[in-house]
Amino acid sequence: MNTAVDQAAFFKTVEEKSESGALRGDYALADAQYVVAQNWDAYTPVQHALWRKLYARQAQLLPGRACDVFIESLNALDAADGIPQFDRTSDALFKATRWRLVAVPGLVPDQTFFEHLANRRFPVTVWLREPHEFDYIVEPDVFHDFFGHVPLLFNPVFADHLQEYGKGGLKALTLDGLQYLARLYWYTVEFGLIRSPQGLRAYGAGILSSGGEIEYCLTSPHPRRIPFDAERVMRTLYKIDSYQETYFVIDSFEQLFRDTAPDFTPIYQRLKTLEALPADTLLADEVSEGIAYI
């Protein structure tokens, strides 16, 4: 994924890529749902040390930048000392919101991904990046998936939203609406911002697992920061290999749940007749939020 292609197009070819070996992970032992064993004993001391280094660097960036729910949930995970054992986290997660983690070799086909989410199973990649990929990695690894995505699964409203998103994804596949839902996921679950009494905060996993974007998304004067609107988000292209040009801001996870609950079929039909908007668009009636002072 070195060119700014539409991520959904990349995922469409996951089957071919996984068979051809173009993807990082080992798909040979994956079952029909692309699930593998985590093989936690196979991680080396060097890998656990790299996890600790990634975790320490990222955790000290969170105060004043990540939303409180993320920080509180992450701390409760007690995952600083080494690559976590997914089954242990699943036991705690299931008690909290009835979600479980499933170990996967990496990116899985859209249909599979949505089926997991629709059944409150979050796919977590088993392999860890190499030391030279400390600051940037092309495909999601265990640090992105676990550190970035797992904490918010402990929030009941966000957990319910993600299951509805999975159900919506399965429906979107039958309506040729995948590209619109991929944008929705990208601009919320991966790169979303949320308002807080102390100012804008990040809740997107792509931001929260990134050493640089967590600062940029809140304080750079360059990107646009505009209020979340589902149709606007689903119409907006995104970049997969650079910081975002636009961030969408929600007031609460309740708003995200509420605004994405309607049947999107009419929106898909309307969007099919409209040009997609470039990632750096600011429409005439839109005002970008000021930057967040930390």
Residues within the interface to Fe ion (CB under 5 A): 140, 205
Q: Does 25 bind ligand HBI (CB under 6 A)?
A: no
Give catalytic status of residue 132 as yes or no: no
Binding to ligand HBI in span 180-209, by CB under 6 A: 181-182, 185
Q: Does 123 bind ligand HBI (CB under 6 A)?
A: yes
Of residues 18, 90, 144, 213, which has the active-site annotation? 144
Which one of 35, 69, 110, 166 is in contact with ligand HBI (CB under 6 A)?
A: 110
Q: Does 162 bind ligand HBI (CB under 6 A)?
A: no
Give catalytic status of residue 286 as yes or no: no
Please write down the HEC assignment for all residues of 51-113. Answer: HHHHHHHHHCCCCCCECHHHHHHHHHHCCCCCCCCHHHHHHHHHHHHCCEEEEECCCCCHHHH
Give catalytic status of residue 20 as yes or no: no
Q: Does 148 bind ligand HBI (CB under 6 A)?
A: no
**Pick 214 or 271: Cβ nearer Fe ion:** 214
Q: Does 27 bind ligand HBI (CB under 6 A)?
A: no
Which one of 79, 115, 140, 166 is in contact with ligand HBI (CB under 6 A)?
A: 140
Give catalytic status of residue 149 as yes or no: yes
Q: Strand, helix or coil at 253?
A: helix
Beta pairing, strands 121-125 & 193-196: unpaired
Of 52, 91, 39, 261, whose CA–CA distance to 165 is shortest?
Answer: 261
Gap between the Cα atoms of 130 and 141, Å rounded:
10
Of 74, 92, 91, whose CA–CA distance to 205 is shortest?
Answer: 74
| Active-site residue set | 144, 149, 190, 209
